[in-house]
Amino acid sequence: MTLQHPADRGGAARGRFERFAESVSTLTSSPAFFVFCLALVSFTVAVHIAGIATEWLLLAGDSMTAVTLLLLALLKNSELRAERAIQRKLDAIAAALLEAQEGEPGKAHENLRNVIRMEEEI
């Protein structure tokens, strides 16, 4: 287990968790997941309205809590990766602009080319 920023882990190759988080992020933005969440909320409301046994109330509440916590962790990972990619792009643009202003393109222009579409790699 590592406590590094997600963008700093493993270099260019993404780890299993990063690939998993990306896949789940794609799934959770789909209409199918929205329907699943709508069904879960509807189930919880129906159980409360119907006055069904306490065990069903606990199951409904615990299910919603588990989904919420998992989504929170995955969304935070996705947010951190996007944040770091944007910052690296801004740094590369600033360095390339400084080089262009000085009249001698060099390493900064190459770094700028490398950071384009970086969020797909991170």
Closest to 109 measured CA to CA, from 97, 96, 122: 96
Low-confidence winner among 23-37, 76-90, 99-113 (lowest mean pLDDT): 99-113
pTM for this predicted structure: 0.52
Please give, one letter per residue, the 3-state secondary structure of the chain.
CCCCCHHHCCCCCCCHHHHHHHHHHHHHCCHHHHHHHHHHHHHHHHHHHHCCCHHHHHHHHHHHHHHHHHHHHHHHHHHHHHHHHHHHHHHHHHHHHHHHHHCCCCHHHHHHHHHCCHHHCC
Question: In which band, very low, low, confident or very high, does the pLDDT at 13 lie, cut at 50, 70 and 90?
Answer: low
More confident residue, 45 or 1: 45
Q: Using CA atoms, how far apart are residues 92 and 117, in angstroms rounded to an integer?
A: 13
Residues 50-101 pLDDT 10s: 888 888 888 888 888 888 888 888 788 778 878 888 888 888 777 777 777 7
